[in-house]
Structure 1
Amino acid sequence: MTNPPQMAQAFDELAGGYDNDHHDEVARLLLDLVRPAPGDRAADVACGNGAVALALARTGVSTPVLAVDISPGMVAVGRDRAERSGLAAAIDWRVGQAVPLPVPDASLDLVLCSSSLHFLGAEALSDWRRALRPGGRAGFTLPVASQFRPSGAFAALVASDVPIPDTVDDALSFAARAGLVDAEARLAHVGSRAVIATVATSP
């Protein structure tokens, strides 16, 4: 299990130079696969710079979108981006652990996690099933194993129980083992990096 203070420090140090353009593109990829519905109650888990929360807030989902991250620095970046985009009231920013989500059971329609599940661990998917209503959907992205080379402090923060997928089928199998159903996955290249986006339903 990762150490939350260590995790927060690592991402706080990264916040000022975070690649917003890359993560905004990954968020668009994820939302294109998930296709949020009007009125969906949604959360952006381990929200980082808020790319997913901002993208959700621009759709017809119910607001405020919950955005949670353990890094105060990342949340500050996200909040600033929201204010500059005129979306300050559309997102509920929280600094704290993303697992468990600070929501009641079966209270969400949509839980999304971009570029972070491999730091949270498989327990995150169990918590998403708790937080989602029956028929609610979980969407996440993971890097492709052949390109994944974590370095420095981040190498020690990668969860050992989240298999980094080589293929779309690997991502689908992971979702199925977590008890999610009707999974879809898509491989995409974002700049020089490849990611796999997955969406599945809580039974």
Structure 2
Amino acid sequence: MSASGDTLGRRERKKAETRSRIAESARRLFLERGYGAVGIRDVAADADVAVTTLFSHFASKEALVFEHDEVFRQGFAESVSRRKPDESLISVLRRHVEGMVRHCGSKEARPIWDMIDRSPALRAYEESMLVRHADSLAIAISADDGLACPPIAGRAVARFVITAYSLARTSQHPTTTLDHVFPLIDAAWSARN
């Protein structure tokens, strides 16, 4: 590998380390003091970075909470593109949603989601984030030639799947919620043509 390749790799690692340090500072401060009591300057100082550096990694205070937004967004699209030819799209998406809901309900993630559920600003940010996820999923569905899905049907099914995730994430009985909602999604998918 060339010296410039080593430099680029090192630069990317340092950027990732800085982003991770900022996110960890934000998470810890938000959980210790409460989301509303912590400002951007508090997070930057705790992470030992300039405010401008923080904003080069995160577009807003809300984005600090949803550090893995892009990973979740890509996960939906990848569940479509990586499924086996004989796998049902709806069953693949259900498994993906179940995994996300399990993650959100885990011991490590639960305090963050409790904080999100108590904050109108964070709930609003989550809603806008989920719209982006639905749009990304719809593009993946429409792009898959094997699915033969009209774009409007792909958009509708994507919105249904994202709504199923949202309902299950906030449910006391997530599996039961998915058991009720996914047959409806499957029926809509079967009626798409």
Would you call these one fold, judging by a TM-score over 0.5?
no
TM-score (norm 2): 0.26
Counting helix residues as a fraction of each chain, which structure ranks higher?
2
Higher strand residue share: 1
TM-score (norm 1): 0.25
